[in-house]
Amino acid sequence: MNRVSFFIVILALTSCNYFNVKKTTPEAILEEELKTFSWNEVDAYPAFSSCDSTLIKREKKTCFESTLSNHILEYLQQERIIVSQDVKDTVVITFEISEVGILNLSDIKISDLTEQEIPEITTKIEESLSDLPKIYPAIKRGQQVKTAFKLPIEIDVN
């Protein structure tokens, strides 16, 4: 009998840990999730409808950038640009694609020679971006998100 009561007391003292419930708040869950969250990567890059057929993430990004680059270059080739000396330069365009697929131009880096030879190049690039086809925004964890890009464009005018 003495052993049975001793066993019951030990069981009662150690079993209390089974009833301790660890409470987790939504903030704690969010904080833990944010630690493992990569803000620099998206699940799907922004895309034009012509890029929908590619399934691989890297190919979609390449398709988006090449489509945008080709659109700008085609627009510039249609413009009549006259220069006094040959211009071969790389223009870096910095822009954001919003959560709803709107392109917002942030900055255009142009060398001094290109700016001197083609003073209206900034305006022409901005005009070329005004008639882009519909852009589908980037997706991160099922949500449409804003993304930022730097796109080099090679300008070659003779």
Is the pTM for the entire model greater than 0.85? no
Ordered by start, the domain boundaries in the chain are 2-35, 47-157
Cβ burial of 64 (10 Å; 0-12, 13-18, 19+) is buried
Separation of alpha carbons 13 and 8, rounded Å: 9
pLDDT one-digit tens code per residue, 33-77: 766 666 678 888 899 888 877 678 888 888 999 999 999 989 988
Please list the pLDDT of the chain residue by residue as tens digits (158 residues).
Answer: 777 787 777 766 666 555 566 667 887 777 777 666 666 788 888 998 888 776 788 888 889 999 999 999 899 888 787 777 777 888 999 999 999 999 999 999 998 888 888 888 899 999 999 889 999 999 888 889 999 999 998 888 77
Contact, 87 vs 114, CB < 8 A?
yes
What confidence score (pLDDT) does residue 137 get? 92
What confidence score (pLDDT) does residue 103 get? 93
